Structure 1
């Protein structure tokens, strides 16, 4: 059974250890910061559990750092992760459903960013199936939009941003 709930004080160490167990470096401090921002109303962090075990999480950022979303007041679905052993079991879809419900309480448009290389292929497909389309601004890295002729290193910071009208 999949259960979606808000991040709580017991989660940071559990989440950090779960990701470390699959070789991903995610510190407990990151989730302590998420918890503080959730308490301040800056973000909502949703946690998924499968049969009582941590399985993944997603954030809704009310004030995106991405310039186009910030200017338009579009909340951003952010830092969406499901443990590898729990992928392809509907957990990601349930997290996205709930994140979109949370956003829809305030506005009718959701935004999300996705990396552009192979590691993000599953996410790219998921977002397309859910109705997210590119926002038309091209790819973005750190604090700028990349233009023709720019040289950059393709890494996790090169992102294509997408939006979806929520019904």
Structure 2
């Protein structure tokens, strides 16, 4: 698809992004994106925006120092909060965001990591990550600061994740 541009997020994007997700029925407050911009200015993250013909279509974040224990111990940058608006999916925008994020990470690390939810809402993301060469880190399911154990019961929600890594060539 032509007309796709990728750039870093700025303060003026916060309301635009929040409104775009609200229009598709998702609540993502503008303050979240202002925090991303502040973290970016501090060198803690890179937040990228995808636009189609100048209209917001999606975003992705690179967090240099992950809170996820294995990534933190191994100094693996984490791709987080990756979203493409529903009306722009299956047009290559997500792949372009991932390509750009991995290129940025490659300049500082030979490995990239990410976490993904375990229920069907994350099915497309699970498939995308596997096709891109991400593999489970072998640590198991993680939720609320702990690795889950056999027999443990939890609520299945957005915080129930499996983490993946990819060696960047």
TM superposition score category, shorter chain reference: over 0.9
Aligned residue pair count: 167
Q: Secondary structure at the match of 2:142?
A: strand
| TM-score normalised by the chain length of structure 1 | 0.99
In structure 1, runs of 5+ residues without a counterpart are none
Task: Indicate the residue corresponding to 2:158 in structure 1.
Answer: 156
| TM-score normalised by the chain length of structure 2 | 0.98
- Following superposition of structure 1 onto structure 2, how do residues 39-54 of structure 1 map, counting pairs within 5 Å? 39-54=41-56
Task: Indicate the residue corresponding to 1:56 in structure 2.
Answer: 58
1:6 corresponds to which of 5, 8, 20: 8
* CA RMSD of superposed structures (Å): 0.4
Task: Indicate the residue corresponding to 1:134 in structure 2.
Answer: 136
1:106-130 per-residue CA deviation (whole Å, 9 max, x = no partner) reads 0100001000010000000000000
Task: Indicate the residue corresponding to 2:72 in structure 1.
Answer: 70
Stretches of 4+ aligned residues off by more than 4 angstroms: none
Task: Indicate the residue corresponding to 1:111 in structure 2.
Answer: 113
Task: Indicate the residue corresponding to 2:86 in structure 1.
Answer: 84
Task: Indicate the residue corresponding to 1:99 in structure 2.
Answer: 101
How far is 1:134 from its partner?
0.2
Task: Indicate the residue corresponding to 1:146 in structure 2.
Answer: 148
Q: Secondary structure at the match of 1:154?
A: coil
2:122 corresponds to which of 120, 123, 127: 120
Task: Provide the C-alpha distance between the structure 2 equivalents of 1:142 and 1:72, rounded to a whole number of angstroms.
Answer: 20
Task: Provide the C-alpha distance between the structure 1 equivalents of 2:34 and 2:133, rounded to a whole number of angstroms.
Answer: 32
Task: Indicate the residue corresponding to 1:38 in structure 2.
Answer: 40
How far is 1:58 from its partner?
0.3
How far is 1:29 from its partner?
0.2
How far is 1:142 from its partner?
1.2
How far is 1:9 from its partner?
1.8
1:96-149 per-residue CA deviation (whole Å, 9 max, x = no partner) reads 000000100101000010000100000000000000000000010010000101
How far is 1:8 from its partner?
1.0
